[in-house]
A and B are shown apart, each in its own frame.
Chain A
Amino acid sequence: MTREEVFEKLNEVFRDVFDDEEITVTDATTADDIEEWDSLEHINLLAAVEQAFGMKFNMGQVVSMKNVGEMADIILSKID
């Protein structure tokens, strides 16, 4: 999967989770950019991402992840 394809799929997940068809995420997107993305919704978002890509984040990754770009990097490192 290319980085572009990962972002395409991430967009779908974000749109489902926040019930907003307008969302488009980029490398620099953080929780500050999406109104409903608070620490509680974050849990649900990560679970939906894990399901979409068939992988799991470990605790260290969850703690250190800073933006959507880093999320995509971890996803790419875990899938072929």
Chain B
Amino acid sequence: MRELEYPFDSEDILKRSKKIKRRLLEERSDFLQKKIAVLGGSTTHDIVRVLEVFLLEQGIQPLFYESEYAQYWQDVMFDEPALAAFGPDLIFIHTSNRNIARFPGMGDTPQQIEDLLTEQYEHFQVMWDKIEKKYHCPVIQNNFEYPFYRILGNREAVDIHGRISFINRLNDKFYEYARTHAHFYINDLNYMASAYGLDRWADPLYWHMYKYAMCLQAIPEFAYNVSHIIKAVFGKNKKALVLDLDNTLWGGIVGDDGVEHLEIGQETPMGQVYAEFQGYVKAQKDIGVLLCVDSKNERDNAIAGLNHPDGTLKPEDFIVIKANWEPKSQNMAEIAQELNILPDSLVFVDDNPAEQEIVESQVAGVSVPRIGSPEQYIRVLDRSGFFEVTQLSEDDRKRNEMYKANLQRQKQAQNFGDYREYLLSLQMRATIRAFEALYMARIAQLSNKSNQFNLTTRRYTQTDIEAFATDARYITRYGKLEDKFGDNGVVSVVIGRQGSMEEIAAYQKREPILTQNSGGEILHLELWLMSCRVLKRDMEYAMMDSVVDACRDRGIGTIIGYYYPTAKNGMVREFYGQMGFEKIAEDDTGVSTWRYVIPKDYQKKNTVIEVAN
């Protein structure tokens, strides 16, 4: 919704959030529902109200728990029953420098200040540790913003007695905790306050009148920033930047002006702006954002422009380059298809408002930021948080290469008459094992991101995934696939629970399974998903073989699969049928149930991938 896209009118959002919320709820129905506990050290009412509309915009429908005023610590430490009953999917701890109980006194010795630092830090650390033990859910914690006055003036950050010095050291300890705890995220309140302007942000009226940690007008930008972390944790990040060329990546029209007259590089102020923007886009690639081009140009001209000696971006930085005279919306749809991702994972960057309109209206779900004039491009994209980084994995850094290798595979496939022969030529090697520590984060990420090849679309946090790994009732499998073009990383996940026939009805109704028995003669498949980048590679057969092996080891003779239809997973409606299952039920909502009785002489289904266990 235009009103909620950066740059937005904060005062308008504050004033009309109720109406905006109503419209968002009318527009769609496929929300991901999440329970979010907001534990405040100051008033949280308007923060929750505005955070809600930003999350709805991202497709997340939050149910909120709000602590009583400033009870963030007590709620956790004294096991507030209402919080426990709420069972949060995520906890957001909204504290600020107003919650630092004591700052150094001017007469304190270095040792006393050290002790005070430890004391203030441990106040928070015991709470985080408790949350980790009791709630096993992701935590978002604010860091501390600078105070709006400086007793020691410019020495405030230098002298250990200064509050800025103290806050910097305390923040460092928070960051250290975040680096060593996987589901713990820092919301950079300090950055937000400085970007907004500390004097306006810290308007003391709002603290003394209403106990708000910031002025009311700053709340939308603050809540927007928090919403980025939340949607990233729940797998709603964007995946690709699709860029226009003329007047987006350089100044001028390459087809008309010629490469030598483009504005890019250090010669002119405008050239410098575009050079800085190209550098920004290139850095996105290094955090795993896929780069593509969608431009109205002759292809040769587009390539020539990208080879400009003063440009940072080169043709090989892009996975798909669409430079032609087709409508940009059509190119966008094709890019999504070639990358095997949904259009709602794409961000379209074009300086031309007319092209922005066409793409936005013709390609459902694609994000089209109003990027403004060239010197604003970076700020608008950066603040929009499309690619919020919650962790930086090896996979993220290598993603562009993986997608490129995929396109090479597709090209090679066209040269083979026989598909099996093609698959063999890929020299695929898979590792299929029970969940292991190294991959928990990736497995959780996949469970939140996979929409198309996903039989049940159950979303799990990393903590859930770790719990399955140690639960004796569960059979877990992850699959990693490599071939001669490169490593695809972890691409498939199966989770099955050993149980009984009586439980089938509950699975069909998607109800929680209450029985606690540890044995059982059948395996209920709670999750089966695969990344679309390895479609048609027979990886699903290799996974099936591994699951069957695990069942035989436990004396399980029957596997029950479930298909829960969503707007996006139509491609796997008949998946279990293709795997040799027999459909035993289907209700009027489209939920189907499938049975596979493992034959005594089970023949391995995969014959093209070499599998290591």
Contacts and interface: CB of A to CB of B under 8 A. Distances in A.
Interface of A: 13, 16-19, 40, 43-44, 47-48, 51, 58-59, 62-63
Contact of B15 (A13, A58, A62): A13
Contacts of A40: 43, 45-46
Nearest to A49: B15
Tell me the interface secondary structure of chain B in the complex: helix
Nearest to B9: A51
A48 B18 contact: no
Contact of B208 (A47, A48, A59): A59
Contacts of B18: 18-19
A43 B42 CA distance: 14
Contacts of A17: 15
A62 B205 CA distance: 10
A47 B45 contact: no
B22 interface: yes
Pick from B22, B46, B206, B208 the residue with the most CB of A within 10 Å: B46
B11 interface: yes
Nearest to A43: B210
B11 A43 contact: no
B15 A16 contact: yes
Interface of B: 11, 14-16, 18-19, 22, 43, 45-46, 205-206, 208-210, 212, 216-217
B445 to A, nearest CB: 37
A63 B205 CA distance: 11
A43 B212 contact: yes
B205 A48 contact: no
Contacts of B15: 13, 16-17, 44, 47-48, 51
A74 B18 CA distance: 27
B19 A47 contact: no
Given A47-B11, A59-B208, 17 more contacts: A16-B15, A16-B16, A18-B18, A19-B18, A19-B19, A19-B22, A40-B45, A43-B45, A43-B46, A43-B209, A44-B15, A44-B46, A44-B216, A47-B217, A51-B11, A62-B205, A63-B209
Given A40-B46, A59-B205, A48 B11 contact: yes
B208 A44 contact: no
A78 to B, nearest CB: 16
Contacts of B16: 16, 19
A48 B14 CA distance: 8
A43 to B, nearest CB: 5
B209 A59 contact: yes
Nearest to A41: B45
Contacts of A62: 205, 209
A58 B16 CA distance: 24
